[in-house]
Structure 1
Amino acid sequence: MAGIIPTLIAAAKPLLSKGATIIWENRNYLQLYFKTKHWKYKNMDIRFSISGLYKIKIPDTNQYLLVLNRRIENQLQPVGGAYKRFGDDSLFNKWGYKPDNSKNGLDVDEKSSSDLRFMVQGKHCIDVLDWFESGNERELNPEREFREELIDTGILDSSIFYNIQYKQIRRFSKNLLWSDFFSCYEILIFDVFELLPNEKQKQALIELSKQKNNLSNGFAIVNCDDIEQLRLVDNKKQIARIGKHTKLLINKEF
């Protein structure tokens, strides 16, 4: 018997270690769980904004392709935007969700209908995250935004960029962040995908980068310093601001 106990302890150590690792890796989730299920956030309206972004780097440079935000004047940002959900509203209605409107968000129009920008009570936040993680009844990547922002606008040649390849490189989230703009707490989630251009696409991006920045064209080529400073400057004059979430393209946080 004396020899069995040390053996059991030795066998349990890897399991205990693995359990501790899982807890550490999911500590933000666990903190959010307790805050929204049992703490003051339980009955508060929490705003979600869940998006997919493309990192589009000009080959062999430290430059990136950004586009103008169609809602926020004179702001450049990565290609991409809020995911859309599919299916009926029964699940979201169960959570008592409220879509964005002009008072609590960015409002809803024909293009933004069903965007994953909405409010639910805090006690349903974990349900939303579990649903999102499942991938059911929602977009899984920002290809639609790529087409709308780059192909439909003529910024990129549809015959060259008809098929694209990419890989997901990170997921970044901020939980229960107070927003002065929306006057509420937010949960922000960004999936960042890196475009993997073929040779023709690489050459097209290089040619695009040779154009002088003209915001009337709906895009700009910026470098790392521009993104760090969150502004695009031309002749010592700021011509556009850059959205904070653009820092995710250069492995920074905001």
Structure 2
Amino acid sequence: MGTYGRIKKRVKIFTQSLLRKNKTIRISCAYLFRIKFENKYLLIKGNQIDQYQPVGGVNKYYESFQPLKNTMEITDEKEVNFYEDRDLRIYTKGKYIPGYLNWFASKKNHEVTVHREFLEELGSFNEFNGELLSKTRIEFIKQIEEPITYSKHFKCDEIKIFEIFELGIPMKQLEEISNRKNIVLVGEEEIERECTNLDGKSRKIAVTAKYVL
């Protein structure tokens, strides 16, 4: 998406938020990894939902965020199955959305490195992890801000923000990772179709996988 497209989308979100200025909005901020192996995309089986999805995780905020959190009347996610301590899965009123998006883009008061999650999901033993950390190339690709939509699951309006990174994992580690039981390699067509066939059965692919294409 070009600069004009990004500006147009941001203006739409700002307009939506002002129309909901006193309404509670859920915001989720996460990062996803594009990992390619032999022209296919590497996905991992979800822990909470029965689907295959990009490796990634939710950004976390730091204690220094507390004053702004109070000012914006922010409350944390309450759903135990999804929320972990200091996750940027939060609720605030629509009138604060523009300020929140500008704050998130500033990189202040929250996690900006992405090593934690990819090591948690793809790491193994110490020697393997050391190689993974020291030799993996991490390149920022894009940021996606979805328009405000109604979530049937959370029963409220929500906005999702995704930062997409490409991981250039050393071939030795990538071959080992791709052979794990919770990993699948899928083509672009399967991601667009949101399903893949494993052992004669159709398996769901998360809609967020499209963002890593």
Give yes or no for TM over 0.5: yes
Distance 2:183 2:55 in 1: 10
Deviation at 1:167, TM superposition (A): 0.8
The corresponding residue for 2:31 is 52
* Residue 12 of structure 2, aligned match among 27, 31, 56: 31
Secondary structure of the corresponding residue to residue 30 of structure 2:
strand
Secondary structure of the corresponding residue to residue 112 of structure 2:
coil
Query: Where does the alignment leave 5 or more consecutive residues of structure 2 unmatched?
Result: none
Q: Which structure has the larger Rg?
A: 1
Matched-pair contact (CA < 8 Å) for 2:59–2:87: yes
Q: What is the RMSD computed on CA atoms of the aligned residues?
A: 2.4
The corresponding residue for 1:228 is 192
Aligned CA distance change for structure 1 residues 66 and 107 (closer, same or farther; 3 Å): closer
1:178 aligns with 2:150: yes
Matched-pair contact (CA < 8 Å) for 2:145–2:160: yes
Q: What percentage of aligned pairs have identical amino acids?
A: 28
The equivalences for 1:212-251 within 5 A come to 214=181, 218-238=182-202, 240-250=203-213
Aligned CA distance change for structure 1 residues 34 and 63 (closer, same or farther; 3 Å): closer
Distance 2:82 2:199 in 1: 36
How many residue pairs are counted as aligned between the two chains? 209
TM-score by length of 2: 0.87
1:100 aligns with 2:77: yes
Runs of 4+ in 1 over 3 A off after TM superposition: 21-25, 206-209
The corresponding residue for 1:117 is 89
Aligned CA distance change for structure 1 residues 225 and 187 (closer, same or farther; 3 Å): same
Distance 1:175 1:196 in 2: 30
Query: Where does the alignment leave 5 or more consecutive residues of structure 1 unmatched?
Result: 1-20
TM-score by length of 1: 0.74
* Residue 158 of structure 1, aligned match among 129, 133, 138: 129
The corresponding residue for 1:203 is 172
Secondary structure of the corresponding residue to residue 63 of structure 2:
coil
The corresponding residue for 1:87 is 63
The corresponding residue for 1:4 is none
